[in-house]
């Protein structure tokens, strides 16, 4: 079995869906499972629906409905095609949930709504494959991947998931399913973290002992830096699992942080390939201690918060203090990207993706003195050289700097 994963940028329009079908025709459709994300910016559009729902008690699906209707109309000349009835049914289900929902748990509601993007995307693509005489089996990932109830960042129950996948996914056929979404044992939808479709592909690969995972992107592979930010970026032809994990952990956007670990455990190769040019080899992630980049790798994360914490009585900041702080980080779903401590203070760079920073600060201030800078950038340099560090620091105000054997990290504020 080979796993293909297609992201939202690849299927953002009818032309992208058609190109995906051409890739399948050229690479074969037997023994293959396709994992697909929501189309284009659907996730962002549904996040706006959720925001309006909570802030204004308003349900407005017009934009997202029109977007998918246009793609379907461009793919299916016959407006009586069953896919249009399928889309209407999904919109009815989503509207019904929002009208009948009584939960004020934002994360729970988020997961119940956001997953419709992947369900609709795969329904359209499956129908189009059938219209092109490519027989396929559409399957709801929520029936297979089971998790706990940590909404928006669910943890996989591997034992149940393994049994479900092995029972439903059979050899010699083509399957299509959704990335990003899963469900609890009570069948409430959960999600695996933003951009979690890559992780979904890795879960299926692990459970099926897949031969390979190919992630199709709008770039030709993994680069030593984001080509949109660094004009002299270089493609990495091959890296090992550990290096990929490091790059993903620090925020490299091409690979989701959780994706590599299941593949590494079974030594399943991952190839990041160009969606637009099949002739390009892409970047291969596989086993091998010597497969590391020979150039510095640059990763930038925006809109972070530099948080400094100290005891109120100016005593040493010791292990007990740290355990209290990290307990609050866990309670308020705060991701830590960098840690640095001194005798009397403790500094961290955090990501406020769950929008719970104000509650975190309120609780921290009960026990500690707290200061922070919002809107900082974190530059991470893997295999850093003195020249690369100096170039990164140029014309920036460096608030915090940390250099180890393999990695340098700079917290900067460019608007001071």
**In the predicted structure, residue 55 carries a pLDDT above the cut 80:** yes
CB-neighbour burial class of residue 399 (10 A; exposed 0-12, middle 13-18, buried 19+): middle
Q: Does 132 lie in the same domain as 19?
A: yes
Look at residues 218, 235, 256 and tell me which one is the last residue of a structural domain: 218
User: Does residue 327 belong to any structural domain of this protein?
Assistant: yes
pLDDT of residue 390 exceeding 80: yes
- Of residues 335 and 34, the one with the higher pLDDT is 34
Is 211 part of a structural domain of the chain? yes
120 or 236, which is more confident: 120
Over residues 159-178, mean pLDDT: 97
> Coil, strand or helix: which one is 387?
helix
Q: How far is CA 226 from CA 178, 254, 408, in A?
A: 27, 9, 17
Q: Span 360-387, mean pLDDT?
A: 94
Average pLDDT, stretch 151-173? 96
* Confidence check: pLDDT of 416 > 60: no
In a domain, 273, yes or no: no
Residues 6+ apart with CB under 8 A from 105: 151
Judge whether residue 292 has pLDDT over 70: no
What is the distance, to the nearest Å, from the Cα of residue 304 to the centroid of all Cα atoms in its chain? 17
Letter string b/e over residues 240-254, b meaning 16 or more CB atoms within 10 A of that residue's CB: bbbbbbbbbebbbeb
Same domain, yes or no: 33 and 182? yes
Confidence band (pLDDT; 50, 70, 90) for 415? low
**Residue finishing a domain among 161, 191, 218:** 218
pLDDT band at 227 (very low <50, low <70, confident <90, very high): confident
Q: Which tokens belong to 280?
A: 């390009």
Which pLDDT tens digit goes with each residue over 63-90? 999 999 999 999 999 989 999 999 999 9
The tens digit of pLDDT for each residue in 293-312 reads: 778 999 999 999 999 999 99
* Whether 207 and 303 share a structural domain: no
Best CA proximity match to 112, nearest among 127, 125, 99, 126:
99
pTM assigned to the model: 0.86
Residues 108 and 12 in one domain: yes
- Tell me, yes or no, whether 198 and 69 share the same domain: yes
- Tell whether 276 is covered by a domain: no
Residue ranges making up the domain that contains 376 = 297-413
163/49 same-domain check: yes
Q: What is the pLDDT of residue 289?
A: 65
Q: What would the pLDDT profile of 184-199 be if each residue is shown by its tens digit? A: 999 999 999 877 899 9
Whole-number pLDDT of residue 387: 93
Q: What mean pLDDT is predicted for residues 6-13?
A: 95
Task: Tell me whether residue 267 is in a domain.
Answer: no
Contacts for 304 with CB less than 8 Å, ≥ 6 apart: 337, 349, 350, 351, 352, 375, 376, 377, 378, 411
Q: Beta strand 2-6 with 32-36: parallel, antiparallel or unpaired?
A: parallel
Q: Are residues 33 and 147 in the same domain?
A: yes
Range in 107-111, 172-176, 318-322, 366-370 with the lowest mean pLDDT: 318-322
pLDDT recorded at residue 276 = 93
pLDDT at 180 over 80: yes
- Does residue 137 share a domain with residue 9? yes
In a domain, 283, yes or no: no
* CB 164, CB 155: distance < 8 Å: no
Residue 254 inside a domain? The answer is: no
Q: Are residues 214 and 116 in the same domain?
A: yes
Per-residue confidence (pLDDT) for residue 218, from 0 to 100:
86
Is residue 52, in this structure, part of any structural domain at all? yes
**Mean pLDDT lowest among 61-75, 87-101, 250-264, 345-359:** 250-264
Query: By the 8 A CB rule, do 177 and 139 touch?
Result: yes
Angstrom distance (rounded) from CA 307 to CA 339: 10
Q: Among 167, 190, 218, which residue terminates a domain? A: 218
The pLDDT assigned to 115 comes to 96
Output the six-digit token pair for 339.
């840690």
From CA 176, how far away is CA 257, in angstroms rounded?
23
Domain count, the chain: 2
Q: What is the mean pLDDT of residues 85-112?
A: 97
- In this structure, which long-range contacts are made by residues 404-410, counting pairs with CB atoms below 8 Å and at least 24 apart in sequence? 406/246, 406/382, 407/246, 407/250, 407/380, 407/381, 407/382, 408/380, 408/381, 408/384, 409/338, 409/378, 409/379, 409/380, 409/381, 410/378, 410/379, 410/381
CATH of the domain at 330: 3.30.2130.10
């Amino acid at each position: 079995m080979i796993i293909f994963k297609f992201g939202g940028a690849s299927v953002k329009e009818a032309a992208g869906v058609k190109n995906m079908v051409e890739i399948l025709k050229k690479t074969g459709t037997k023994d293959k499972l396709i994992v697909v994300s929501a189309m284009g910016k659907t996730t962002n559009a549904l996040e706006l629906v959720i925001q309006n729902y909570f802030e204004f008690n308003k349900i407005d699906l017009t934009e997202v409905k029109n977007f998918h209707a246009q793609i379907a109309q461009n793919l299916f000349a016959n407006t009586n095609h069953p896919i249009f009835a399928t889309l209407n049914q999904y919109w009815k289900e989503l509207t019904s949930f929002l009208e009948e929902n009584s939960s004020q748990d934002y994360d729970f509601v988020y997961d119940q709504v956001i997953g419709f993007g992947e369900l609709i995307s795969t329904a359209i693509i499956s129908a189009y494959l059938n219209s092109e005489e490519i027989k396929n089996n559409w399957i709801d990932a929520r029936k297979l991947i089971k998790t706990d109830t940590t909404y928006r960042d669910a943890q996989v129950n591997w034992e149940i998931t393994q049994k479900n996948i092995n029972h439903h996914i059979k050899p010699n056929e083509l399957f299509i399913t959704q990335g990003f979404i899963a469900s609890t044992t009570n069948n409430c939808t959960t999600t695996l973290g933003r951009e979690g479709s890559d992780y979904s592909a890795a879960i299926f690969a692990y459970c099926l002992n897949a031969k390979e995972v190919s992630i199709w992107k709008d770039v030709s592979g993994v680069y030593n830096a984001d080509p949109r930010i660094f004009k002299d970026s270089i493609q990495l032809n091959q890296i090992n699992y550990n290096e990929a994990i490091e790059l993903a952990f620090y925020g490299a956007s091409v690979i989701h942080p959780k994706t590599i670990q299941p593949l590494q455990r079974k030594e399943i190769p991952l190839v990041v390939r160009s969606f637009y040019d099949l002739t390009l080899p892409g970047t291969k992630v596989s086993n091998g201690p010597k497969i590391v980049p020979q150039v510095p790798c640059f990763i930038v994360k925006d809109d972070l918060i530099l948080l400094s914490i100290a005891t109120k009585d100016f005593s040493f900041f010791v292990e007990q203090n740290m355990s209290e702080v990290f307990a609050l980080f866990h309670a308020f779903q705060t991701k830590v990207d960098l840690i640095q401590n001194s005798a009397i203070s403790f500094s961290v760079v955090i990501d406020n993706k769950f929008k719970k920073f104000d509650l975190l600060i309120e609780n921290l201030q009960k026990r500690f003195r707290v200061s922070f800078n919002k809107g900082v950038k974190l530059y991470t340099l893997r295999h850093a050289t003195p020249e690369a560090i100096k170039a990164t620091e140029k014309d920036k105000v460096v608030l915090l700097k940390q250099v180890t054997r393999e990695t340098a990290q700079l917290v900067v504020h460019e608007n001071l």
